[in-house]
Amino acid sequence: MSRTRDFVVNPGHGRFRPNRRSVLAGGASLFAGLGLGGGLGSLARAQSAGGGMIETYGYNFYNELSYPADFKQFAYVNPEAPKGGEISIGVLGTFDSMNPYTIKGRAGAWSSSMYESLLGEGPADVYGEQYGLLAERVEYPEDMSWVIFHMRPEATFSDGTPVTAEDVLFSHNLLLEEGLASYAAAVKARIPNTEVIDEHKIKFYFTEGISRRSLIDQAGGVSVWSKKWFEDTGARLDQSRLETSPGSAPYVLDSYDVNRRIVYKRNPDYWGWHLPVNVGRHNFDRIRFEYFGDDTAAFEAFKAGEYTFRQEGDSKKWATQYSFPKVQNGQVVKTELPDGTPPADSGIVFNLRRPIMQDKNLREALTLAYNFEWTNESLQYGLFEHRVSFMQDTPVMAEGVPEGEELEFLKSLGDVVPADLLTEPARMPPTSSAERLNDRRNLRQAAKLLEDSGWVVSQNDGKRRNAEGQLLELTFIFNSSNEGTLSAVVENYIKNLEIIGVTPKLEKVDAAQYTSRERAFDYDLIFDSYIPFLGVGTGLMQVYGSESAAVSTFNPAGLASPLVDTIIEQALAAQSRQEEETRLKALDRALRYEMIMIPAWYRGSYWVAYYDQYEHPDPLPQYDLGYLDFWWFNQEKADKLKAAGALR
């Protein structure tokens, strides 16, 4: 539930793994969609039970699954991967709760991993498919007016109690009563009734006259908690607590030391080890997270062997600081691994909830003040590319002037589409000189836009004010645990804002304050990200739509656009993959037109460094690095590292 920003070291690599089930609201997905291809070649059709009924072992909106009913394991895993060992990861920030769904406080890293759903996370080599986990079968009519999940009777919580349909119903209702308001409103509008048929069978009814997208996978994606535990303890889902409820997943909490460490252990009594979706996965005996106040301390701890796996995001560190002896002698592996996911839609986000930010001229001027080319060459060692699209480098990325089916679709929407959207190329960020931070051409253009909006430079102090004498003052909040290259990027951007007469207030706050202010939308500017969309799902409304713009933390800009809403509604009604792609291209075009953020950088690979005691499938699947999922531990290599003194 909480959208905290605890970062596994380092704070992101600029790409988004479309999670196999994108979690937008405490483990319950509202953002499900179609894949972009890939997978195993031939597709298995869900079986018809007759009379317009479909009965299947997994779910995809088009009733097509890449894995057959009798599959043994996902194609990319090593079914012979040994079990054992430990992997440890550094985390920046703090935590004061082990309840990942709390609206208050900061949840501990990976705390949602202890809970499962009816449909598990889909395979990492295809997108938009899910296979039964707590549920062994899914049954629904062709019109998708309802769905019945047939649960596995052998499923148990970690305390040995059975997982039943009553637990599923309880969890569903708990999210509606104590979960995020935007999530509850969206689900209530789509799922009006839920019925327990028997101990291991539950039925969800769906609202008539709405899109059938993201209904079955929404119902199947809810994390399942123990009704008995919540009733016995009186615990609330929306409150911070360190006590954990029993889950049904492969890992359980082993220990924690607040703000210092969290350890999970593999549960040898886990009920689901025999399932094909689990073969070759969940291989480590222990997964340990070490907490640090800043990335400098975290990096030194990695070099010392205090934790053993690091996903790097700081270009300066990657380019200049990975020449320490353990890398040189091969004890630490430094490598780039392919990343097939679309990049995270990250950048400097404008808070449109603030009246001052409603001015598109102002937003354009602020965009012109960001010099990607200089930033990349001077601060990031030329290692990145400039992101231009909300679906960068995918088939649904809008390019050039709309034409063909996309143009016809946009024309069909009527007056909600601005005339220039039909005739102008898809919006691109400005290009700047890499020679100097303050590109004069762009800054002159920015100054003119500000003057056109009534923000005039005062002759007394060189600062811009409007006709009422109001100072053009903008607050930019920044998480101080992200000091390093990102901090330098923001500070240099602030310098350009000052040159054009803006009065920026860069407020560096600790992780807890940052989370609080982010949730309260207490900022004009923030470095944040949106979730890219490989397919259509009702979660698009939660992320980009007007419906919950005032309250949704997944919409940091507070975008409320009739144009975007209309395109999403039409995309949800798409009847074919071709229609869906066309409408998603239009959505990308519209989001870029609305100018809600200054797009930042991305790259097409993972930067990772790890002590040479881990192994992984080769090749990796398209949609996941998977180091906590399907990598494994090599005991012989670990013994050599310890004998050499590289690890304790």
Residue 615 confidence (pLDDT) above 70 = yes
500/521 same-domain check: yes
User: 318-351: buried (b, 16+ CB within 10 Å) or exposed (e) per residue?
Assistant: beeebeeebeeeebbebeebebbbbbbbbbbbbb
The predicted pLDDT at position 415 comes to 97
User: For the domain that residue 94 is a member of, what is the CATH number?
Assistant: 3.40.190.10
Number of domain units in the chain: 2
483/521 same-domain check: yes
pLDDT of 312-345, one tens digit each? 989 999 999 999 999 999 999 999 999 988 898 9
**Cβ distance 601 to 14 under 8 Å?**
yes
42/164 same-domain check: yes
275/150 same-domain check: yes
What's the average model confidence in pLDDT over 45-68?
A: 81
The predicted pLDDT at position 8 comes to 32
Residue 439 confidence (pLDDT) above 50 = yes
Residue 185 confidence (pLDDT) above 90 = no
Q: What does the alpha-carbon distance between residue 439 and residue 436 come to, in Å, rounded to a whole number?
A: 6
Q: What does the alpha-carbon distance between residue 95 and residue 292 come to, in Å, rounded to a whole number?
A: 11
625/495 same-domain check: no
User: For the domain that residue 544 is a member of, what is the CATH number?
Assistant: 3.10.105.10
The predicted pLDDT at position 38 comes to 34
Question: Which pLDDT band holds residue 79 (cuts at 50, 70, 90)?
Answer: very high
548/409 same-domain check: yes
The predicted pLDDT at position 105 comes to 81
Rounded to the nearest integer, the mean pLDDT of the chain is: 90
Residue 402 confidence (pLDDT) above 50 = yes
**Cβ distance 615 to 11 under 8 Å?**
no
Residues with Cβ < 8 Å from 627, sequence gap 6 or more? 87, 309, 311, 608, 610, 614, 616
pLDDT of 81-91, one tens digit each? 999 999 999 99
176/325 same-domain check: yes
Question: Which pLDDT band holds residue 51 (cuts at 50, 70, 90)?
Answer: low
274/414 same-domain check: no
The burial of 478, by beta-carbon neighbours within 10 Å (0-12 exposed, 13-18 middle, 19 or more buried), is given as buried
C-alpha 399 chain-centroid distance: 24
What's the average model confidence in pLDDT over 24-42?
A: 32
Least confident of 190-194, 414-418, 576-580: 576-580
The predicted pLDDT at position 2 comes to 33
The predicted pLDDT at position 81 comes to 98
336/349 same-domain check: no
pTM summary value? 0.84
586/615 same-domain check: no
- Bridge partners for 359 per DSSP: none
**Cβ distance 469 to 479 under 8 Å?**
no
pLDDT of 294-307, one tens digit each? 999 999 999 999 99
Domain that holds residue 470: 345-602
614/545 same-domain check: no
Question: Which pLDDT band holds residue 47 (cuts at 50, 70, 90)?
Answer: low
326/397 same-domain check: no
